[in-house]
Amino acid sequence: MKTLTVSVVTPDGPVLEDSFEMVSCKAESGELGILPGHIPLVAPLSISAVRLKGENPQRIAVSGGFLEVRPDKVTILAQSAERPDDIDVKRARAAKERAERRLLAKQDEIDFRRAELALKRALNRIEVVENK
């Protein structure tokens, strides 16, 4: 089976570089599945899990990222990207509760927006760990 090289890089360093058969992820405009030989593409990713399928499948929680596709290579650039093993579940749960409290308290729009994003990030992390 044909494979494509996937590399995930963040400002804190590369997270993963390996070959996989398929990349399945959620872009801002909807779900995307990338197979080898895809045309060059750039798309922003939503806060979500990226699923890498192949011999040893991986799930990665990304936030604030985008995807660059070339026929034989996919690069994911994200402000944060973590494998399930690297996620601090306790911290994610604490962040979730904090964000929920903030959402309940009435606040101006910017804080609301920020809490919403924080909640999304926390939920995403928890989800990735639980569906390992």
Partner 1 sequence: MASLRDIKTRINSTQKTKQITKAMHMVSASKLSKAEDFAKAFNPYSDKIKEVVNSIAGSGQDAEHPMLEHREVKKTAYFVIASDRGLAGPFNSGVLREVYRTIQQRHQSKEEYAVITIGKMARDFFKKREMPVLKEITGLSDQPNFADIKDLTSETIQLFIDGEIDELVIVYNHFISAISQEVTSKKLLPLSELKEESAGTTSSYEYEPNQQEILNVLLPQYAESLIFGAILDSKASEHAARMTAMKSATDNAEDIIDDLSLQYNRARQAEITQEIAEIVGGAAALD
Interacting stretch for partner 1, rule CB under 8 A, among 49-57, 66-74, 95-103, 122-130?
66-74
Residue of 124, 114, 113 lying closest to 50 (CA atoms): 124
Residue of 53, 111, 47 lying closest to 79 (CA atoms): 47
**DSSP symbols for 47-115:** SEEEEEESSS-EEEEEEEEEEEEETTEEEEEEEEEE-GGG--HHHHHHHHHHHHHHHHS---HHHHHHH
Taking CB under 8 A as the criterion, the residue among 29, 56, 85, 90 binding partner 1 is 29
| Residues in region 33-62 near partner 1 by CB under 8 A | 39-44
Taking CB under 8 A as the criterion, the residue among 16, 18, 21, 68 binding partner 1 is 68
Is the CB of residue 33 less than 8 Å from the CB of residue 20? no
Taking CB under 8 A as the criterion, the residue among 19, 24, 27, 102 binding partner 1 is 27
Interacting stretch for partner 1, rule CB under 8 A, among 50-58, 70-78, 84-92, 94-102?
70-78
- Name beta bridge partners: 60: 50
Binding track, positions 77-96, relative to partner 1; x by CB under 8 A: x-xx----------------
**Structure tokens given for 83:** 């494998």
- Shortest distance (Å) from residue 40 CB to partner 1: 5
Task: Give the footprint of partner 1 on this chain (CB under 8 A).
Answer: 7, 9-14, 27-29, 32, 39-44, 64, 66, 68, 70, 75, 77, 79-80
